[in-house]
Chains A and B, each alone.
Chain A
């Protein structure tokens, strides 16, 4: 049995190649991801919400689903879903009164009638599983086609790591998890000062010039430091950073697929959505 897996809306639509490569890599490494049967949107707005209770309802439904698998775990690939689910997990554990209030709401709601969340689920990002369950050394040993000579800039963005007190995945200012992964795959990680800066996030919807400027700075800096491509764990970062095709913006799972020789249809670099191409 694999780990319960929550893909989220973006991975089911715009970022299918992240989903496909992620699942294939996980299976190839013997740590398969089992998609939750009937999942819905995580809500995505936790970081923006002013009413914490409303923002917690959608993610709590997902935690309930994960709890029903009895694995008491749920893995994500999307950095935003991860942020929302992880912070919900932490908040509900820390605040029993909030959990009670949410449970009162979901148990009387018609789609989740009679169901409650008991607080057992641990939310993980797939990167965390690679690091903590498999380990970089073991991963390196599984690599059949090392990414020798490739200079790749790991880009973390904001939501994969912040706020550190709740997320706790890595140091938000000097993270290494993606760089360690790339080193294990035989590539050369390129350090650059904007690896943890914001790409502009949702402003791409109503103020696209803001992410264009922010992402432009990030991509130029990576290029200046010698990167041939940028590696990310977030579909929104991937979308925003794709500034005029300056550098390829790749998911870490695509590079994993490449180094494990899972075939072109899995690594699928060609399908990379590019605003220039849309």
Chain B
């Protein structure tokens, strides 16, 4: 038994599982494909139902992971292969080329200031811009940049064998940490147990043509709206719509966009949308006092401690208008976004000329760029592509493979408290395995 664990995915699930294992005295290798840790939780503005600042409550944990003597962090990396047996897995990790020597880099940020090349920021769901050399956010852990080869003209001139262009970061880096000769590299880790916490992604708007198919600039998904609300976001927390930067006065939230819709989307309920939509509507109202938020919903599913009360607060105290019905069509009309829907409680057709529409898109399992979840691990998936627990009721954190445990939204949509609980549960399973071997 190798008393070391591999944790795949450094969202809040992977972070929690890693910390629990590491704080029990065991080594952890934590892998994430992004340059820094935090996953989707790092993108959120506030959390429900407490309206805590997401970054603020998460930062102590991300920093602890970054400094922990028992955690070896592999960011901007992916698991390339897993072989071996429970208790003795060999894991091959691909470290993507960062073009920055992280051992020397102090994270001063001068390279990002000086870099003249910009691209839409993925972390801001395309609403903001980032440089060709970038970190995901100012709170990034590790706070060290990587170079995007699709945007950097220096790398492109090298690839084409042309005369070398730009080099602003090279010139200004005070520690000479820029290294355009860097290539991807592989490392091997030997671990006894694995926690798979690869999380979720957002169903693409292009799959919902009746809602504009992603072609209407002022129809955005809820994760993008989190970035508009976030103080660290592209607008500094001011609600400005993408098309013209104006403050939206009439805002429509559409719940179950792609969820509970076997015809166009996914058949299941994405579970978190009722709560985060209420949260977003409240936060919008706090930012834009004379604004009017509307929420279209099928049902309100607010099972959870303090959740129903939170919905009541949105409806009764915060002036959010709830309309029970589906939206049938969204289209652009001049500088407005027209929303056609029904209010099934009054039996009337509703038409709203909105300034901004936010789609609560379905949560779908996250898949890596090469289409695999974890290469080398034959994990069973359910009909929707989520990991299948070995027993949905009594062993939710156990996979079909011995020594491989599951946590978080990769098993199915779930909120932060449930994800954290499950991550601690998966960590307990790993620790149990290590302890068993000592006997």
Contact = CB atoms under 8 A, between A and B. Distances in A.
Query: Could you tell me the dominant secondary structure of chain A's interface residues?
Result: loop
B333 A193 contact: yes
A193 B213 contact: no
Given A193-B331, A193-B332, A193-B333, A174 B213 contact: yes
Contacts of A172: 209
B132 interface: no
A173 interface: yes
A265 interface: no
Contacts of B332: 193
Contacts of A173: 209-210, 213
Classify chain A's interface size. under 10
B358 interface: no
A127 to B, nearest CB: 19
Interface string B200-235: 000000000110010100000000000000000000
Contacts of B5: none
Nearest to A164: B263
Interface in A78-130: none
Interface string B311-347: 0000000000000000001011100001000000000
Contacts of B338: 193
A173 B331 CA distance: 11
A171 B264 CA distance: 12
Interface string A33-62: 000000000000000000000000000000
B332 to A, nearest CB: 7
A171 B338 CA distance: 21
A169 B338 CA distance: 27
Interface in A166-202: 171-174, 193
Contacts of A193: 329, 331-333, 338
A23 to B, nearest CB: 34
Contacts of B210: 173
A172 B264 CA distance: 12
Contacts of B213: 173-174
A36 B338 CA distance: 46
Contacts of A174: 209, 213, 215
Given A172-B209, A173-B209, A193-B333, 10 more contacts: A171-B209, A173-B210, A173-B213, A174-B209, A174-B213, A174-B215, A193-B329, A193-B331, A193-B332, A193-B338
9 contacts: A173-B210, A173-B213, A174-B209, A174-B215, A193-B329, A193-B331, A193-B332, A193-B333, A193-B338
